[in-house]
A and B are shown apart, each in its own frame.
Chain A
């Protein structure tokens, strides 16, 4: 409950940050602190130095970008909820964000912090997968974009190199008339998902022509459901939804713990996927 001692500094510019990260001295970036500080208090992480990037104005913004959106890494959940753009174009973001943590967590917690932390049970990674987001990252060596589906590599492990910082998240526009839904069951104590599903579907004349389903809290890492492809070309009949839901956990090593044993979590995931699909299809125009 008491972290090991560490140094703390506030960055004033992105250049500062890149210089510090290039040293490779174990400095951890911190913005809202709502993921990092708890693990430091449990001493699961013991960084010698923290560099606070929450003061860098450029990293905190939401803007239209190529008909989709670009969201700065230190944008807080509250910023997201208060911006019209994600609300209108990506209703799934608001649907999910409203239920993240509590008021205080949403005031401080940042979308980029959650993604870079990559907790296998946090909500945002599954949304990013379903929305086919890509992440712009930067280091002294240069800049690159990483697709969400390549970004999450394991529990608390991402494709970010030691010297890289996540700058922003680019969301491509949703297919025309798409319906989205995020559903999760949260562990009563921590509030993290015991199983969560993010769904994006679109249809053309009743026939589904786009389907993406991503899970969080189920396996060791947030993951896309490959069986979602089976929806394409169908009208989303209930037996199809049931089939996709049943297959959603195929190939995933479903995790179990004292709150949700693996057999329960497997079943729960299938229920949640089915319900999220129904909801998203209902919303699709």
Chain B
């Protein structure tokens, strides 16, 4: 980032790639003691963020303080090792759980978690921030009771706050509950899909209040699961698995039927640093019928420019190419909380629709005036304002925009101009969901895991742009598979990070990935005017659990119940060796904590996913 304080004018200009420019400005105003209107943050193309660029990092503060003191521009840079060493992290949770069932249906869950907060009690940890982990740990299931406990611990690591692929700890919660369901099905000798189908919250139960006190907005979990089973050919897959097992091959089928909570607000339960969550849009229509729309969020490459333009264009009846989308400049964009946690489209996108509708209402008044008709007789149809029952009597949006701006002939009492803003504070979160199925092969001799197929059926409500949704799901799945297969931040006994370069920290590569088979169902949300839900994190949240479920399913005949991720060949092999040793000794190996023994313990009828240390 560059901080450029001008001692003559008192103006502070900041050029930075962060995901929440307005929130940063407010923080800087308080920290630096500068008037907020004298601070301008410009975030241009960021090149990826994934939550990692939400926080105010110490380097930013140093650059600003340096520039104020020295009166010259100060640039703060970070290399890859600096970034890996100091950035916020997630996933370092030691989770133990029990799950119970009655008459073939899951009834209860008890969770005891130790959460690594790093060196500071950062926000986005469950002890400080109940939304997220507590929110979703009951999964997609109609439970009768749950008890969830999280103990925070300080360590000498970086702040464990808002992190890369953070998801406000929903990934941890989904991983836990989906692993538990799989382990419970094994224990009950029932098919994991049957157990899920028996235990899902029914469509008729929405809005559904969970046992941890949150209200899911809408869902049809059974349908999504059925679509996924059809694509997978589930019955045939189980047959194939049986045949392979008979030949001594280790094939596994994993399932993950997740629900997540995204789209923050609502402001009544959600804030960061006390800044309540909502988002905003401001639209200005030019005389020729083109528009500029500014938002309080900040795209990092996920295509807001396209999605938002489509939303505004659809509401105004103009081509999407005629809508210029702008974000990231605090002097021009309306106040908003930024982009993370799959919140942008359900909040700012919805605000865009509302602002556009306000403009359309005003345009309708002007159109009625121009058409010399009663406003009640004018309808918005086929991209124009038309007089009911009179096919040749209409005004296009561009014609109305021109009149609004040149103001030759305005209805009495109507101001010129065609602008509107909206601040959308939803009544609730939105709850996207999905069913993912993954098949794997495990090499008994080397412990290598090969992903054979990956099927993802997601429901994030209506799609604005299907290609962008698909891209979001693709990227998310790959991140989760990376987490499941190979990504881990390793510290030595002195607390030094020893995976400080990309030679040791294994980001997934395209060549390792299977072809992804995608489909979707559409269950609109009642909490915003477009019925939309977020999709940025869905893939990540589902896929790590799905993969580990598949590998543990493959290894189940050896008596292996659980291995901690990441499932590197060395860890899987060690688990197989331990299982063999136990089989020879007549014992039941149960949980295999991989390369870090001593963290997990076997709970009868349950499984503790043990220590996670994945950044």
Residues of B within 8 A of A258 (CB): 490, 498-499, 504, 595
Looking at the complex, which of B201-209, B418-426, B565-573 is the stretch in contact with chain A?
B565-573
Q: For B511, B512, B573, which residue has the most chain A Cβ atoms within 10 angstroms?
A: B573
Q: Could you give, for residues 57-90 of chain B, a 1 whenever the CB lies within 8 Å of some chain A CB and a 0 otherwise?
A: 0000000000000000000000111100000000
Q: Do B570 and A261 touch across chains, with their CB atoms under 8 A apart?
A: yes
B464 sits at the interface (CB 8 A): no
Is A51 close to B, CB under 8 A?
no
B490 touching A189 by the CB < 8 A rule?
no
Q: Is A264 within 8 A of B574, CB to CB?
A: yes
Assuming the A-B contacts A2-B79, A185-B448, A189-B486, are A42 and B569 also in contact, with contact meaning beta carbons closer than 8 angstroms in the complex? no
Q: Does A5 contact B (CB under 8 A)?
A: no
* B503 engages A264 (CB within 8 Å): no
Q: Are A1 and B79 in contact (CB under 8 A)?
A: yes
A interface footprint on B474-498 (CB within 8 Å = 1, 0 otherwise): 0000000000011000100000001
**A104 within 8 A of partner (CB):** no
**Is B506 an interface residue, CB under 8 A from the partner?**
yes
Check A271–B446 contact: CB distance below 8 A: yes
Taking the nearest CB of chain B, how far is it from the CB of A204, in angstroms? 31
B507 within 8 A of A: yes
What A residues does B512 contact at CB under 8 A?
Answer: 188
Chain B contacts for A42, CB-based, 8 A:
501
Q: Taking the complex as formed, is A259 at the interface, i.e. its CB lies under 8 A from any CB of chain B? A: yes
Q: Which of B80, B502, B504, B507 has the most CB of A within 10 A?
A: B504
> In the docked arrangement, what's the CA distance between A272 and B448, Å?
12
A38 within 8 A of B: yes
Contact with A along B423-453 (1 / 0, CB 8 A): 0000000000000000000000111100000
In the complex where A1-B80, A268-B446 touch, is A259 in contact with B503 (Cβ < 8 A)? no
Cβ-defined contact, B80 with A188, below 8 A? no
Interface residue count on the A side (C-beta < 8 Å): 20
Is B214 in contact with chain A by the CB < 8 A criterion? no
B446, A185: Cβ atoms closer than 8 Å: yes
Question: Per-residue 0/1 for B508-546: is the Cβ within 8 Å of any A Cβ (1 yes, 0 no)?
Answer: 000110000000000000000000000000000000000
Residue of A nearest to B501 (CB): A42
Report B444 CB to chain A, min CB distance, Å: 10
In the complex, which residues 532-566 of chain B have their Cβ closer than 8 Å to any Cβ of chain A?
A: none
Instruction: Give A165 Cβ to nearest chain B Cβ, in Å.
Output: 27
| Pairwise interchain contact A189-B498, C-beta atoms closer than 8 A | no
Q: Which residues from B are CB-within-8-Å of A102? A: 511
Report the minimum CB–CB distance from B493 to chain A (whole Å).
13
CB-contacts of B81-121 with A (<8 A): 81-82
Which A residues are in CB contact (< 8 Å) with B574?
261, 264
Question: Are B502 and A189 in contact, CB atoms less than 8 angstroms apart?
Answer: yes
Instruction: Find out whether the CB atom of A189 lies under 8 angstroms from the CB atom of B569.
Output: no
Residues in B with CB closer than 8 Å to A271 are: 445-446
B506 near A188: Cβ-Cβ < 8 Å: yes
Q: Is A260 positioned at the interface, with any CB of B under 8 Å from its CB?
A: yes
Least Cβ–Cβ distance between B574 and chain A, in angstroms:
7
Please measure, in the bound complex, the distance between the C-alpha atom of A194 and the C-alpha atom of B506, giving whole angstroms: 14
Given the complex of chains A and B, what is the CA–CA distance between A264 and B447 in angstroms?
A: 10
User: Within 8 Å of chain A (Cβ to Cβ): is B164?
Assistant: no
Q: Does B505 contact A (CB under 8 A)?
A: yes
Known pairs A2-B79, A271-B445; A185 contacts B569 (CB<8 A):
yes
Chain A residue at minimal CB-CB distance from B505: A189
- Chain B residues with CB under 8 A of A87: none
Q: What 4 pairs between A and B have smallest CB-CB spacing?
A: A1-B79, A189-B506, A188-B506, A188-B486
Q: Can you list 11 pairs linking A and B with CB atoms under 8 Å apart?
A: A42-B501, A102-B511, A185-B569, A188-B512, A189-B499, A258-B490, A258-B504, A258-B595, A261-B570, A264-B573, A268-B569
Residues of B within 8 A of A (CB): 79-82, 445-448, 485-486, 490, 498-499, 501-507, 511-512, 568-570, 573-574, 595
